[in-house]
Amino acid sequence: MLLEDRSREYVEARVRAGVMEQDVADLLVETGAGERVVREGLVHHGIELQFASERHRIPLSELAGGRAIVIYGQTELVKDLIRLRLDGDRPLHFDVEEVSVHDLESDGPLVRYRHEGLGAELRCDVIAGCDGFHGVCRPSVPHGVLSEFSREYAFGWLGILAAVAPSNGELVYAHHERGFALLSLRSPDLSRLYIQCRPDEDLAEWPDDRIWEELQTRLSLEGWTLAEGPVLEKGVTGMRSYVCEPMRHGRLFLAGDAAHIVPPTGAKGLNLALRDVRVLADAIVDWYRSGSTTGLDAYSDTCLRRIWRAEHFSWWMTHMLHRPDGSDAFDLKLQLSELAYITRSEAAATSLAENYVGLELV
């Protein structure tokens, strides 16, 4: 049984991230959810870093053993997964209310919820808590069991989706004295763009013209123009790093944002969530087939190795590219030196590339 407290319309419309590690796209194909990713996903073999008024390409695939990234909106993936589940006549309830989890330390943990006005109870073998950072699962673990590690950032991202062909063939991560900017895309005629802003930025102060003006300034490059188009969606994303350990209590297994958050720089959130779910699914299948709990017992440690690598990578990318209020000339010089190092040293560029496409941690 799959429970979702939002409506189908809401989850299928919410604009989220859009960069998938190749292994994650392959995983979707393997599980039968990849048909549209393969057809419509855009395979990219590099990204660009812009700083000091110049752009430098990082050839990801060349540096990272041929692996690439796939541009495909999380929103589209959510639609694909919902359709697959409903086509298979497997239960999925939207708009559930008052969800709570109980008896986590027993062999039969319980989920209570309301659906279409009626109270319901589900006695389970395991509960996968995939209910996000603000969900009910993590807070249901008794106090003192989980250790939490976190970092707040003094900025956010203001993002837009615009009906205009992307002005560049590859993603551009731009360092600028006025703050970070990112040029991304969703399809050949949909651009996705972000600018660094305050975490509590008021969207009312950002009419479309002002957003484009800021993007033009931060992404400007001699001999290149940023094409503008109608803004279809805009929003502010907060930035936070967070991990809780372990990702399990009794028969409750936390996955994705319920257990960890990365700042968006580097686009790791969706990838980590899908990889958690993969490890958990394999462990559950193995348990049903063989009776062995080895996979379930290793779940948290297995996932946390990858998660901490991504936590570091996202934190590092964030610090290298953003200009916090109050940062001084020394900070600026360090950032520029690091960016120059990445574009001049194959070792440094390789480190970025292998983390960006998704490191295999044996």
> Which residues are near ligand DHB by CB under 6 A?
17-19, 171, 182, 184, 192, 264-267
Q: What beta strand segments (E) does 238-281 contain?
A: 240-245, 248-249, 252-254, 260-261
* Angle between helix 294-321 and 269-290 (nearest 10): 170
Answer yes or no: are the C-beta atoms of 155 and 324 closer than 8 Å.
yes
Instruction: Examine the residue annotation and report whether 199 is marked as an active-site residue of this protein.
Output: no
Instruction: Examine the residue annotation and report whether 175 is marked as an active-site residue of this protein.
Output: no
CB of 273 to ligand DHB, least distance (A): 13
Q: How many helices (H) and strands (E) does the chain have?
A: 10, 21
Answer yes or no: are the C-beta atoms of 106 and 250 closer than 8 Å.
yes
Q: What beta strand segments (E) does 29-154 contain?
A: 42-44, 47-51, 54-58, 69-71, 92-93, 97-102, 110-115, 118-123, 127-129, 147-152
Instruction: Examine the residue annotation and report whether 56 is marked as an active-site residue of this protein.
Output: no
CB of 6 to ligand DHB, least distance (A): 20
173, 175, 194, 263: the catalytic one is 173
Q: What are phi and psi of 93, to 5 degrees?
A: -105, 130
44, 175, 249, 322: the catalytic one is 44
CB of 186 to ligand DHB, least distance (A): 7
Nearest residue (CB) to ligand DHB, 184 versus 300: 184
Nearest residue (CB) to ligand DHB, 115 versus 319: 319
Cis peptide upstream of residue 166 (ω within 30 degrees of 0): no
Answer yes or no: are the C-beta atoms of 183 and 167 closer than 8 Å.
yes
Answer yes or no: are the C-beta atoms of 12 and 79 closer than 8 Å.
yes
Answer yes or no: are the C-beta atoms of 132 and 149 closer than 8 Å.
no
CB of 122 to ligand DHB, least distance (A): 34
Instruction: Examine the residue annotation and report whether 288 is marked as an active-site residue of this protein.
Output: no
Nearest residue (CB) to ligand DHB, 86 versus 203: 203
CA dist 237 → 101, 157, 307, 316, 333 (Å):
29, 5, 20, 18, 27
Nearest residue (CB) to ligand DHB, 192 versus 248: 192
CB of 170 to ligand DHB, least distance (A): 11
Nearest residue (CB) to ligand DHB, 265 versus 302: 265
109, 166, 263, 264: the catalytic one is 264
The catalytic residues are 44, 173, 264, 268, 356
